[in-house]
Amino acid sequence: MINSKQPLYLKIYERYKAMIISGRLVTGTKLPSIRRACNELGVSKTTIEAAYLQLEAEGYIKSKPQSGFFVADIKPFNYERKKMPALTKKTPNINIEFDFVSATVDKEGFDFNLWQRYIKSALRDNNRLLSYGEPQGEADLRAALADYVSSRRGVICSPDQIVVGAGIQNLLQTLCSIDEKHSTVAFAGIPFSRGSAVFSSFNRKITVVDYSYLNISNYNLKDVDYVYTNPSHTNPWGDILPISQRLELIKLAQKKNFIIIEDDYNSEFQYFNRPVPSLQGLDSSDNTLYIGTFSKLLLPSLRISFMVLPAKLLALYQKNGLIFNQTASKTEQIALCRYLRDGNLARQIKKARNLYVAKCTQLCEKINEYGEDNIRAIMGTSGILFRVEVNSRLSSEELTSHAMCKGIALRALEKTCSKEKPCLLLSCSSIPSDRIDEAAKRIVQILNEKTDK
């Protein structure tokens, strides 16, 4: 039997099942009639019938008309109910005083009340919510996205070219599924680890080329099918790919017949310049696939991204891709569409950009003030990140480990930005505005413990 809270018919079912699989009731044995079982167990006819029907449905017994229920042909075996696995002991959490690594969005920069109103409005759209979402994404959202990327990013497309998905990884999985050839993907600039993981899982070959050492014309792209790049964010601190190299990459794609995947992540967060036009809008040969996301513009938990397919990939999607269900929430798609059309995204971007540039500027100024000649903070041109150079014999990784032990989360740059000094990459997003001075003092104090004075 099972626990006392279990329905009575399941207790009876479990009793007979245990007797059958242990061999105590052998093949062909007749079970008590329903009436007899009722009398013996003191339960109702409905309870016995439910237990017998469950046993029959799972193949433990068979019903013979006018004869009753008989044990089916099942060989006895050792049966033990699975036990709940023991809970894994959690690693003790380090109390993080200041987190300079987190990718969270600052709550000061987002109007939750406004977004909640749009979500509630979408939930009142009963007729639309009664059906599954469109595989390619809601038509009105795709129309709003086409207008948005045209006006803000210079992307030239129709709503039919847009495919919506729950995050960039989901879109790349769709891309790999519709283009089944074993292609080679070159990551130019910052390697996108999550994107690389998707391509690798589909048996795509991965290679990396570095903007800082080679001219694009010198890239070894002979057998490459895709070049994955973020031209508006070529390094962690947000430098932009110059127009000459953008045009060169477009010409090379046309010459060597590969597709450029333009990941436009964080392009809106240009501090000192207007966001540069997209590669897709410059590419008259239609060899660029454009990808956008709302993780940083709105909320990381809003899993809505989109890609704009060039003609050759759009044909493949229309042939093979429409069989995939839509993964993004229909409710959130409806809300986002209305949010976009009412002009709220542009206002949100301006608000967030002003907040982050103020925080980054203040953090850099304070770190440089307290760090004097040992620690130097350098603003990036976009995003929410800035870099810090430290006079130390330790490596970047050793500095981050030391800081973590002291409750300060930092990120080491994989490749140093200075040949002589270790470099760190810091995010200002999760540092509250009213604690910037305190955070700057604390990080300088920790890093000064390991500097060369």
Give CA–CA dist 221/134, Å, rounded: 37
CA distance readout (Å), 164 to 37, 46, 50:
58, 50, 46
Instruction: Compare 84 and 326 and report the one with higher pLDDT.
Output: 326
Please report the pLDDT score of residue 349 as a whole number.
Answer: 83
Phi, psi of 19 (to 5 degrees): -70, -35
Looking at every residue in the chain, the average pLDDT score rounds to 84
CA distance readout (Å), 184 to 65, 130, 202, 228, 320:
64, 42, 11, 11, 21
The DSSP 8-state label assigned to residue 108 in this structure reads G
SS3 99: strand
Q: Could you tell me if 349 and 340 are in contact, meaning their C-beta atoms sit under 8 angstroms apart?
A: no
pTM of the predicted protein model: 0.78
Q: Which tokens sit at 126? A: 């009963």
Q: Which tokens sit at 416? A: 């140093």
- For the cut 70, the answer to whether the pLDDT of residue 218 exceeds it is no
Q: What is the CA radius of gyration of the chain?
A: 30
Of 61, 62, 38, residue with least CA distance to 49: 38
SS3 345: helix
Q: Could you tell me if 10 and 51 are in contact, meaning their C-beta atoms sit under 8 angstroms apart?
A: yes
Please report the pLDDT score of residue 2 as a whole number.
Answer: 42
- For the cut 80, the answer to whether the pLDDT of residue 187 exceeds it is yes
Winning range, highest mean pLDDT, from 64-68, 419-423, 446-450: 64-68
Percentage with pLDDT > 70 across the chain: 86
Give CA–CA dist 399/395, Å, rounded: 6
- For the cut 50, the answer to whether the pLDDT of residue 214 exceeds it is no
Please report the pLDDT score of residue 269 as a whole number.
Answer: 56
Please report the pLDDT score of residue 147 as a whole number.
Answer: 93
Percentage with pLDDT > 90 across the chain: 31
259-271 pLDDT per residue, tens: 999 998 766 655 4
Please report the pLDDT score of residue 105 as a whole number.
Answer: 74
Please report the pLDDT score of residue 213 as a whole number.
Answer: 45
Average pLDDT of 221-243?
79
Q: Could you tell me if 306 and 162 are in contact, meaning their C-beta atoms sit under 8 angstroms apart?
A: yes
Beta strand 205-209 with 226-229: parallel, antiparallel or unpaired? unpaired
Q: Dihedral of the CA atoms 410, 293, 235, 227 (nearest 10)? A: 130
Of 101, 136, 49, 112, residue with least CA distance to 324: 136
Bridge partners of residue 427, in order along the sequence: 385
Q: Could you tell me if 288 and 313 are in contact, meaning their C-beta atoms sit under 8 angstroms apart?
A: no
CA distance readout (Å), 147 to 43, 119, 286:
68, 21, 19
CA distance readout (Å), 143 to 157, 159, 349:
10, 5, 20
83-130 pLDDT per residue, tens: 767 666 665 567 888 888 876 777 787 888 999 999 999 999 988 998
Beta strand 259-263 with 226-229: parallel, antiparallel or unpaired? parallel
Instruction: Compare 308 and 153 and report the one with higher pLDDT.
Output: 308
Bridge partners of residue 426, in order along the sequence: 386
CA distance readout (Å), 295 to 245, 262, 266, 305, 385:
28, 16, 9, 8, 16
